[in-house]
Every structure is written in C-alpha cells, then in structure tokens.
Amino acid sequence: MATIGGQILCQAPDRSSSIREGVVRIEDDRIVEVSFEAISGSVDWGDAETFITPGFIDTHLHLPQFDSIGAFGMPLLDWLSEVIFPAEENWNDMDYARSMIARVIDQCLSVGTTGICAYATSSYDATITALDMFQRVGLRGVIGQAMMDRAAPMSLTVPTEQLIEQVEAALQQFPPTGRMATAVTPRFALSCTESALLAAADLARRFDAMIQTHLAETRRECEVVSKHFDGMPYVDVYDKMGLVTERSVFGHGIYLDDLSVARLVQAGSVIAHCPTANSFLGSGTMNRNDHLAHGVRLSLGSDVGAGFERSMVRVGRAMIEAAIAKQFQSDAFRRTGMIDYAKVPTAPQAWYQITAGNAEAVRWKDGGRIEVGQPADLVIVQPDVPWRLARCPLSTLMYSWDDRWVRHTIVNGRHYTIGPNGAGVRTEKGESLGAVR
C-alpha cells in the first residue's frame, strides 16, 4: 500500500485534461482511492508541488532502434537499409539484444512511459526475450516480431512458413489477454510476401490480436508499394490481405486519399501519428485536423528511432507543433497571417492524448487514467519551475518539460525510483533493475 499526494492529472469528457490537488492510494497493482483534498503530511510520497500523471503510453516505437536515434539526412527507404537494418541485425546476438533491451526498459521508465505498442526485430528469440523482460518489470502493452520475409538482408529475412509458425508460437506464449502481449506485426507491405500478409491477418483473426504495421509514410514508399502491387492504393493492399480491421494500428498515414481514409474510418482502424519521425526523415506532415474531421481514430507515437524523442511529453508537444506547421500552409494563414487555434491541439489536450487518449485509441479496456480501479501506472514528477502559478499550468509543464523531473515511475503497482543524472532506475528496495529482470 502507498499514498501519493500532489496535483493529479484528471481527464475531462471533452478529451482534455486538468489538475486537481489530492491523494492517490494504491494497493498491489491497482489504484484503490483517489481523494481530492488538501495533502496531509502523512503521504508516502509527494507534496502540493508534485505533479502526478498517469504513465505515458507510446503507441508506436521500435525497441531495437533506441541506439540509432539521430541518423539524419536520408529518406525512409535509404535510412532503413543503411542505418536500421544493420542495427536490427545486432539483435541476432542474444547477449547484445538482452543488454540493449535492459537499457531500453530503463529509458522508458526514466521518461515515464509505462505502456507501449512496440516493434522488435524479425528475430523470434529477441522478440520473446523483449516480451519476457518487459513483462518482468511490469510494463503494459504489446511487442511484435517485425515480420520480414522479403526485401531485407538475409540475416533479417525469415522464410515465410517459419515466420508464420514463430508468430503463432509467440501468440500462444504472450496472448492478447495478457498485460504484456504480442501483436501481429507485418513490418510494412514491402517487407512481406502476399502469403505472409494473408497469414498475418489470419493469425490476428484467430487470436483476436492487435495488428501493427506502417502505412503511407512517404510519397516514395507509396509509389514503390503501388508498383509492387499492380497500382493498388496502399490501404487497398492491406485491405485485400485482411489487415484493415478495428484491431489495426497503422503508423504514420500521411499520404491517403479520401477513399482510403473512409475505409480506415469504416473499419475502425487507428493511425498512430508520429510527428517527430515525420519531420526527422523529411517524410511530410500528417494532417491531424483533416483526419479527425473525417472521423479517423488517432493515437500518438514516438516512433523511436526515426523519432528522436523518447519522452511522450515532447512527442505531445511535437504534435502541437506539427498542427501549427499545417496551419502555416493553409489559405487562411496566407490571407490573414493568422493561424486558426481551433485546429491546433492545446497542451491539456496533448496530455490527454499521451495518457487516456492513447489507451482508448488502441482499445485498451483501461489505462491512462488516475481513477479507482485503474491499474497503478503512474509517474511522480517534481518540476523545478513555479508551474502552479502559470496561466495554464499544464501548458507550462509541457513546454518546459525536463525528464529529470521524473522521480518515480510506478508500473502495475511496482515502484521504480529514477536516479538523478542517469544514475539508473532502482526498485523500491534500492536494487538495480538487473535484479528484477
């Protein structure tokens, strides 16, 4: 049992958020009480200056790419073959994979991420190891074996039948009902044969599993996909294979015509918006406002390592910046020199997105909220700016955010203390995370 006092991030029905002073009580893996009252001296952690937020949820990231952040100057397909595939080959060495996964877990906890929808590599062993290690620490979400049976180096290409058997075995070991589960993860249309794409859809259906893949991230990628699949639009390729479902999370979704968008809406599929990755690779800017107006379900992801921010708070800020950049291209801005703020998310809306909004988008039944009965996934933050006096405290927090403010990250009721200046993550008993893993 533990009590935490502070300013609690609360979600509003209009998909925004606010703060209220109060005390959160957790028991085992659950939040058992939230009382909005002045903080008494008897709490275990926190005070009136402390910010308590639900753990952040990152709905699109690549675990083997954490060491590849910052390889600037190449468009997507060149970057994949020159930077990413060599990095992912490293995970064929299980000692290497294990030690890197340990570091990635530390980094997730250090920035307050407690929920993930992640890609591993095409290695089954590395994928299972990642699932196992993330599960032991207590994080929530999915990790998928990045399915590749064509158009990749030999060392990353898995023969189709073996690949399908491995994904099925992973689904049996880490079924969708688990707090840490696998997801069917055909990397993208170009890395899979038609047989693999069809089998992926079949497995997802049979196991009721989440599907993750990439969609329409760059113009060049769309052209190559269209050429490879007889002129078909990108969404139609996935649709023909049975991959456009309400359990599908498509990374990026920048270059989509109206019919494709309508099909995604009809199916209830999700687009994981990844603004940092899109600017870093020079891919383009997703039109969030248009997608929302058409009724697309949107989530937000860091897309590390194309994305250069591990912190979902800064990805939330990048989402705002991307929406402003879209405004600069509008006719209204050219005419008036002013942006339409109604088409730009506010910081309180961005806080909503990186917590409850992302949980809802990917159809988690709970998560992303500090409410009684919710899993105890929380971040205890001690800002060193006078944020509570600001005009909009949540905006001040988001724009002046410093990862060093993250003092404790609680996942599934387990308490991890974040050491200052990269001193590492420790358990409540002061052990290093190696003991847990």
Please give the residue ranges that form the binding site for ligand GUN (CB under 6 A): 62, 76, 80, 84, 187-188, 214, 217, 277, 303, 306
Residue in the block written with tokens 């387990």: 414
Please identify, among the stretches 14-22, 258-266, 296-304, 314-322, the one whose residues bind Zn ion according to the rule CB under 5 A.
296-304
CB 209 within 8 A of CB 201: no
CB 146 within 8 A of CB 185: yes
The residue among 76 and 267 lying less far from ligand GUN, judged by its C-beta, is: 76
Residue 144 found at the interface with Zn ion (CB under 5 A): no
Token reading at 122: 């095409």
Residue 22 contact partner, candidates ligand GUN, Zn ion, none, CB within 5 to 8 A by sort of partner: none
CA distance 180 to 429: 24
CB of 191 to ligand GUN, least distance (A): 7
DSSP per-residue letters across 60-91: EEEGGGGGGTT--S--HHHHIIIIIHHHHHGG
The residue among 221 and 360 lying less far from ligand GUN, judged by its C-beta, is: 221
Residue 187 contact partner, candidates Zn ion, ligand GUN, none, CB within 5 to 8 A by sort of partner: ligand GUN
CB of 414 to ligand GUN, least distance (A): 30
Residue 322 contact partner, candidates Zn ion, ligand GUN, none, CB within 5 to 8 A by sort of partner: none
The residue among 301 and 348 lying less far from Zn ion, judged by its C-beta, is: 301
The residue among 43 and 224 lying less far from ligand GUN, judged by its C-beta, is: 224
CB of 422 to Zn ion, least distance (A): 26
Query: Cα dist. 250→29, 128, 258, 352, 377 in Å?
Result: 30, 22, 16, 20, 25
CB of 214 to Zn ion, least distance (A): 6
The residue among 46 and 251 lying less far from Zn ion, judged by its C-beta, is: 251
CB of 128 to ligand GUN, least distance (A): 20
Residue 84 contact partner, candidates ligand GUN, Zn ion, none, CB within 5 to 8 A by sort of partner: ligand GUN
Token reading at 182: 């696998």
CB of 294 to ligand GUN, least distance (A): 23
Q: Is the peptide bond before 112 cis (omega within 30 degrees of 0)?
A: no
Residue 188 contact partner, candidates ligand GUN, Zn ion, none, CB within 5 to 8 A by sort of partner: ligand GUN
Q: Which residues, numbered 301-360, are part of the site for Zn ion (CB under 5 A)?
A: 303
- Give the DSSP letter of residue 29: T
Please identify, among the stretches 127-135, 262-270, 297-305, 397-405, the one whose residues bind Zn ion according to the rule CB under 5 A.
297-305
The residue among 69 and 390 lying less far from ligand GUN, judged by its C-beta, is: 69
3-state secondary structure of 149: coil
Residue 76 contact partner, candidates Zn ion, ligand GUN, none, CB within 5 to 8 A by sort of partner: ligand GUN
Q: Which residues, numbered 241-280, are part of the site for Zn ion (CB under 5 A)?
A: 251
CB 186 within 8 A of CB 160: no
- Give the DSSP letter of residue 2: E
HEC per residue, 288-306? HHHHHHHCCEEEECCCCCC
CB 62 within 8 A of CB 83: no
3-state helix, strand, coil in the chain (%, to 5): 45, 20, 35
What are the φ/ψ torsions at residue 35 (nearest 5 degrees)?
A: -120, 125
CA distance 151 to 172: 28
Q: Which residues bind Zn ion (CB under 5 A)?
A: 251, 303
